[in-house]
Chains A and B, each alone.
Chain A
Amino acid sequence: MSVTLDERAIKSGVNDAGAVVSLHDLRVFYGNFLAVTGVTFDVPKHQITALIGPSGCGKSTVLRCINRMNDLIPGARVEGQILYHGQDICSDQVDPVEVRRHIGMVFQKPNPFPKSIYENIAWGAKINGITGNMDELVERSLRQAALWDEVKDKLQESGLALSGGQQQRLCIARTLAINPDVILMDEPASALDPISTLKIEDLMRELERQYTIVVVTHNLQQAARVSDQTIFFSLDEHRHGVLVEAGRTRDMFTNPRDQRTEDYITGRFG
């Protein structure tokens, strides 16, 4: 029997206790390999949470658990709990497609549909059951993604004709069109030039007023610039990903508690 997400709880935040998403003792396996273990942290509402750490430590794996994208990887198995507005979304009885309507994702490489700018927004909204004035929805989404002024006169042109930074903002607009609650971003600016990167960061700061954002980034300065909370992952002696330290970004980058965090953010390896 499938379980529907509690829309009233999502809208009211009654089960949140300040955290929209809570991970409890999350463990992720790829086949028999334990990729990441013992992950427990909260994602506060209307804040940006950054996941940082060296390559292979499990931060993207954890991110993909939050919207059940790991379901698409053969052999991937998740243990533990992820509470979304108090409801465990790791359960087999929860429809992952429904989860992804509420928890959107932006990927490292911009991936607009091979459609017009307009249809990039409208098509996704329509197949997710959103009706009403599409012109208004497209404009609103593009404005929220700080892209409207650049594309308003060429909405029928292909989304693929935009620059990399514009394509990424188009993907963000596409995500916003289906009115998510949480936006996951997996290294959203790593393929972009410095100016586009800063525009994406400014956009994230704007978006956090209405949405809750979790971002994976290799760019420590970016994590320091945009996030409110930082979660540091590393590898233990068995090469399993582990959560080392979680805290306010201002504290993590000026006075981390764990020596491993200090070593990572100051670049001391060896």
Chain B
Amino acid sequence: MTREHYGQELNDLRSSVVAMASMVDKAVNNAVVALVQRDVAIAQQVVADDRAINEHRWRTEEQALLVIATQAPMAKDLRMIAAVIHIVTDLERMADHAAGIAKIALQTADQSPLKPLVDIPRMSEIARSMLHDAITAFIEDDEASARAIVSRDDMVDALYEQIYRELLTFMLADPTTIDQATHLLWVAHNLERIADRVTNICERVVFAATGQLEELAVSTY
């Protein structure tokens, strides 16, 4: 087959995306673990690791631009590279949200929990599984799977809604809980945004596979 070196460069780009997604998944998981377990060390590590994720994003983007400049990619190759540039941007923003959750974990570590955290870990679990499946769809160039993931964002939105109402109830009943409740609301908001970013990734997977740019889901928030 001709253009073996070029083919390898395209594979390297895909691998870069997978590697970055793995870093982001770990960040999201550890941020919520740090919050639930009030673990300062884990939270600090998530904040520190965000820098490495940012640098990975820039390196991947440079890699993509280099392939464009030197190999003149066309058609599906060009669409895949364009998708990579957008996907690593979304992944970097997801990592920022994870770092935001970790910072809240640091701020609230010495406070007694307002309530057992059940829905927040559940939101995290769904968002992470969406991310895993979206990256798999990207690697396998699977339009149908990418489209199917988007409906799970509704579950994340529903949990966010539930958390909001529950925390509102706490705040109305006892204003001294406002500070803690607000922090938890921000955590839920960050997770909701993470799931939304995954739907963006799904849109780019569909684009890479079909050449069609379309909005797969409209965010409620």
Contact = CB atoms under 8 A, between A and B. Distances in A.
A254 B72 contact: no
Contacts of A255: 75-76, 79, 210-211
A268 B72 contact: no
B74 interface: yes
B30 to A, nearest CB: 40
Nearest to B4: A270
Nearest to B10: A266
Interface in B76-90: 76-79
A12 interface: no
Contacts of A270: 1-2
Contacts of B115: none
A268 B74 CA distance: 11
Of A224, A256, A266, most buried by chain B (CB within 10 Å of CB) is A266
Contacts of A224: 74
Interface string B55-74: 00000000000000000111
Contacts of B211: 254-255
B2 A253 contact: no
A254 to B, nearest CB: 6
Interface in A205-231: 220-221, 224
Interface in A251-270: 253-256, 261-262, 265-270
B74 A253 contact: yes
A267 B79 contact: no
Interface in B116-166: none
Interface string A45-85: 00000000000000000000000000000000000000000
Contact of B2 (A221, A254, A261, A268): A268
B76 A266 contact: yes
Nearest to A255: B211
A254 B74 CA distance: 6
A255 B74 CA distance: 9
A220 B3 contact: no
Of A220, A265, A270, most buried by chain B (CB within 10 Å of CB) is A265
Contacts of B73: 266
B3 A221 contact: no
B74 A220 contact: yes
Interface residues of A, number: 15
Q: Sort chain B's interface into a size bin.
A: 10 to 19
A253 B75 contact: yes
A52 to B, nearest CB: 11
B76 A267 contact: no
Interface string A154-189: 000000000000000000000000000000000000
Nearest to B71: A267
A221 B72 CA distance: 8
A87 to B, nearest CB: 37
Contacts of A261: 75
A262 to B, nearest CB: 5
B75 A262 contact: yes
Interface string B1-15: 111001000000000
A232 to B, nearest CB: 12
A221 B79 CA distance: 16
Interface in B1-33: 1-3, 6
Of B77, B79, B210, most buried by chain A (CB within 10 Å of CB) is B77
Nearest to A265: B74
A267 B71 CA distance: 10
17 contacts: A220-B72, A253-B75, A253-B78, A254-B75, A254-B211, A255-B75, A255-B76, A255-B79, A256-B75, A261-B75, A262-B76, A265-B74, A265-B75, A266-B74, A266-B76, A267-B2, A270-B1
Interface of B: 1-3, 6, 72-79, 210-211
Given A262-B75, A267-B3, 9 more contacts: A254-B78, A255-B76, A255-B79, A256-B75, A261-B75, A262-B76, A266-B77, A268-B2, A270-B1
Of all A-B residue pairs in the complex, the 7 with the closest CB atoms, nearest first, are A255-B211, A270-B1, A265-B74, A267-B3, A269-B2, A253-B74, A262-B75
